[in-house]
Amino acid sequence: MLYWVFDLDSTLYQLNDEIQFDYKYLNKDNQLSYLLKKLPLKKVMFTNGTLGHAHLCINKIELMNCFHNIVARDTIQDLKPANSSFEKFMKVNNINSEDKCIFFDDMPDNLIVAKTFGWITVLISPNKTIHENIDFHFSNIHLALNYFLTKIITHTNIKI
């Protein structure tokens, strides 16, 4: 099975670095909702935020019906990039070694650990970071999802 795994903060939305975070700056994102809904199979959130924070954010950007599950630090009592957090995440979502995960995150350290589990890693950041364990880099989530959707649509034998 294919799992699309998403971090939340600075991955699914990006705010100006000069602004202190406030929920009032989060707005509906119709394009992101459309792109997420077009992705085949399971979409799961994996965040170091709390479950309450995740629900508030995805409600504000109106993505509640886009995810099959949300795994937060308080649901697994662990934080990325600890190996144990990835193990707990996989257990909660019944992900096994035959499954494929494509992981979108804004933190290179999280992606580096994810790669040790065989995941495909996608850095979402305006800053270019080069590391052998980061497979793809995009400045924002919209570009990343457009790329993967194009790849899926144009290739009948998907090799991601």
Report the distance separating Cα 103 and Cα 34, nearest Å.
19
- pLDDT of 37-56, one tens digit each? 999 999 999 999 999 999 99
- pLDDT of 137-157, one tens digit each? 999 999 999 999 998 766 544
The whole-number average pLDDT for the span 106-119 is 96
Compute φ and ψ for 21, nearest 5 degrees.
Answer: -55, 135
Pick the CATH number of 2-154 from 3.30.930.10, 3.30.530.50, 3.40.50.1000, 3.40.50.720: 3.40.50.1000
Summary mean pLDDT of the chain: 91
152 vs 4, residue with greater confidence: 4
- What pLDDT was estimated at residue 10? 87
Name 96's Cβ contacts closer than 8 Å, sequence gap at least 6. 90
Provide the β-strand partners of residue 120.
102
- What pLDDT was estimated at residue 155? 55
